[in-house]
Amino acid sequence: MKYGLLGKSLKHSYSKEIHELLGYYKYEYFEEDDLDKFFQRKDINGINVTIPYKEDVIKYLDEMSEDAKKIGCVNTIKFSDTIKGYNTDIDGMEYMISRIVDLKGKEVVILGDGATSKTAVECAKRLQARTIKVISRKGEHKFEDVDYYKNCDVLINATPVGMYPNNLKSVIKLGKIRPEAVFDVIYNPNKTSLLMDCDRLKIPNDNGLRMLVYQAVKACEIFTSKQIDDDVVENIVQKIRTKNMNIALVGMPGSGKSTVAKIIAKNTDKKLVDIDKIITQRYGNINDIFAVQGEKYFRKIESEVLEEFSKEKNLIIATGGGAVTVKKNFYYLHQNSVVYWIDRPNSKLSRKNRPIYKTNTMREIRQNRNYLYRRFSDKYFNNYNAKITAKLIVEDFNETIYY
């Protein structure tokens, strides 16, 4: 008998990885257009359901759980003598939220009015929120009506805006709105623009990965009739983050970023992406680019390459020394990476093939950039020995990734 995920465009889903880490069954993807035909199959024991079918599958069910009835959509179906639909998303959302904030007596604002929004509304009711406001693009209260919801205590983004591959888009900007906690159901990228704003403003937040893992665990319990500890949820969250998140290196030209990145790639399963090498392969010699088209043009193509690769996962990214001079590169890097600043004394910096050193002294560059390296980075390491630095970064990454 088979288990899997029913939906469309599933190649970036983590569901297979999560269910197979649970270890009870093989899991596959069903990208189906014909639901009538799918529900006639006799080889299915249990499925999860995602976009766009969470409401469409209801007509094929013999019965529904109380949560699924209240919410009006289904994300888990068990096939036995009857076909029963459940909503375990509400359990996942409760788990995600309750780790950070108690909703009792709070004003909760939910962005979006789709199936996930309905789940968020019922979750907020379950957790005894005082007031629940739903904001959407076309509803009675719209995203731009900030005065209506600017005093909210908790904000939940239940829209797909900002999800891969449309990274760094957001329906609102924090500023007037300063909630005490923010949740974004998106988990790819790891940090949406909204959550990066939260980090900047020191607002506690979480993405949708814990919700995804917890709802999968609850679905597995339905499929297998087994009880699974919450420790399993956290172990899977850590494994997925360790596997999928990137390590990015910033620092002065000649500080050893490429060398350290190569060592990390060799000692882990992360793929090496050297931004300067990618640029050379696509556009030619960097010295020639600086000489003929200038630094401004180089920074433009550097940002384009960073944007492309920073969306991806499980990479070790060695940036160019000047990547920190372009503000938007901060957001490109931080959406999926832990960023490390590695440094050396000026006397140890390599000047070979560094066009910036032809027009600026090392002292000038350091004075202009050190505050940017500090701003861009999560951690700092003095790169006195590349092998030791690589080892320390990997150790720190494995500890940092759990939050």
Active site residues: 54
How do beta strands 337-343 and 63-64 pair? unpaired
255 in a known ligand binding site: yes
Between CA 192 and CA 312, with CA 320 as vertex, the angle to 5 degrees is 35
Residue 131 pairs in a beta bridge with 107
| Contact between residue 324 and residue 242 where contact means Cβ atoms under 8 Å apart | no
46 in a known ligand binding site: no
How do beta strands 246-250 and 337-343 pair? parallel
276 in a known ligand binding site: yes
CA–CA gap between residue 82 and residue 181 (Å, rounded): 41
257 in a known ligand binding site: yes
Q: Where are the alpha helices (DSSP H) in 193-325?
A: 193-201, 209-224, 230-244, 257-267, 275-283, 286-292, 294-310
Closest CA to 159 of 120, 129, 133, 128: 120
| Contact between residue 13 and residue 50 where contact means Cβ atoms under 8 Å apart | yes
374 in a known ligand binding site: no
114 in a known ligand binding site: no
351 in a known ligand binding site: no
| Contact between residue 301 and residue 283 where contact means Cβ atoms under 8 Å apart | yes
Q: At a CB cut-off of 8 Å and minimum separation 6, what does 247 contact?
A: 261, 264, 270, 315, 316, 317, 337, 338, 340, 393, 394, 397
Buried b (16+ CB within 10 A) or exposed e, 300-336: eebbebbbebbbbbebbbbbbbbbbeeeebbbbbbbb
321 in a known ligand binding site: yes
How many residues does the structure list for the chain?
Answer: 403
Positions at the binding site: 254-259, 276, 299, 321, 354, 369
Positions at the binding site for Mg(2+): 258
